Structure 1
Amino acid sequence: MEQTFSNAFSRIVAKFNKVPAPLRRWARSKAFGNYVKFAGTAGIDFEEVSTAQVVCHIRNVSKNQNHIKGVHAAAMALLAETATGFAVGMNLPDDKLPLLKSMKVEYKKRAQGDMKAVAALTAEQIDAVRSLEKGDVTVPVTVTDSAGNEPIICEMVWAWIPKKRG
């Protein structure tokens, strides 16, 4: 019988699952935004956070906009990086440190409105993240705009290493 996986991120998510439903998403987003300051500054909203999938949003508001009033290219990359990083983080043992190894973002078309990123690991990737002392994984992520278009195509490679002791 398989034991339920637990790490710092999953314990935070479990705590917020006890918050009343209308406040849960806001409270979780606020907590994760305090943990990852840049995501908090941009107002990344965490719709879903589980070991299976992470769904994040960023609003097309002035602080996140470019010169043509769309979500800034760097903000779109931040959204993809955040979703993929939390997907790895939800599955990484507490004695490991996640590190973004590489980020490739191709801008295909102008984005319309707010943005959404969905990142998920395969069962094989989850097993590797949880069991290998160190390694890396390419995390699939889909970023869409409010019109349902995919204005950017991303490839995020995350590595993990043991945390230094002492």
Structure 2
Amino acid sequence: MEQPFHNTMTRVVAKFDQLPAFMRRWARSKAFGSKVKFAGTAKIDFEEVSSERVVVSIRNRGPVQNHIKGVHAAAMALLAETATGFAVGMNLPDDKLPLIKTMKVDYLRRAQGDLKAVAQLRPEQIAEVRSLDKGEVLVPVTVTDESGAEPIRCEMTWAWIPKQRK
């Protein structure tokens, strides 16, 4: 039987999972937002965080709006980058450093209201992130708005390297 995987992020998420249900999202979002300052400034909401799937959202509110009162293009990219980065981070051994390698964002249509990003890793991707000393992975992410449409299409490639150079 395979041993459960643990790193700093999975241990933190496990602690939040012990909180009463009504507090979990708020506590996760507050803690992760204080660690990743830009996500905290944008008030990214960490709805779901697991080794297989990360769901984050952003409200269409003044500080993240563009000139036409929609979520700013940079905030949309931040949302997708946050979801994919945390998906990798949940599976990366503590002696490795995650790095965004490429970020491709196609803006397809005007966003309606709040946005949600869902990043999911396939089992073979999880195995690579956990076992290879260094590598890279294209993390699938879908960003939808309140209408259910995809205002952006993204490709986020994350790399990882050892924290200590040999």
- RMSD, aligned α-carbons: 1.0
5+ long unaligned stretches in structure 1: none
The separation in 2 between residues aligned to 1:22 and 1:128, in whole angstroms, is 34
One-letter identity of the residue aligned with 1:5: F
Output the amino acid matched with 1:92: L
Q: Tell me the SS of whatever aligns to 2:78.
A: helix
How many residue pairs are counted as aligned between the two chains?
166
What is aligned with 1:3? Answer: 3
* Matching residue's letter, 1:118: V
Structure 2 matches for 1:1-166, cutoff 5 A? Answer: 1-164=1-164
For residues 35 and 9 of structure 1, the distance between their equivalents in structure 2, rounded to whole angstroms, comes to 11
Moved over 4 A (4+): none
Q: Percent identity?
A: 74
TM-score by length of 1: 0.99
**CA distance in structure 1 between the partners assigned to 2:23 and 2:46 by the alignment:** 12
* CA–CA distance in structure 1, aligned partners of residues 131 and 24 of structure 2: 31
Q: TM-score, normalised by structure 2?
A: 0.99
The amino acid that maps onto 1:143 is V
* Secondary structure class of the residue paired with 2:119: strand
Q: Aligned equivalents of 1:99 and 1:40: distance in 2?
A: 19
Distance 1:57 1:19 in 2: 21
Instruction: List runs of 5+ in structure 2 lacking aligned partners.
Output: none
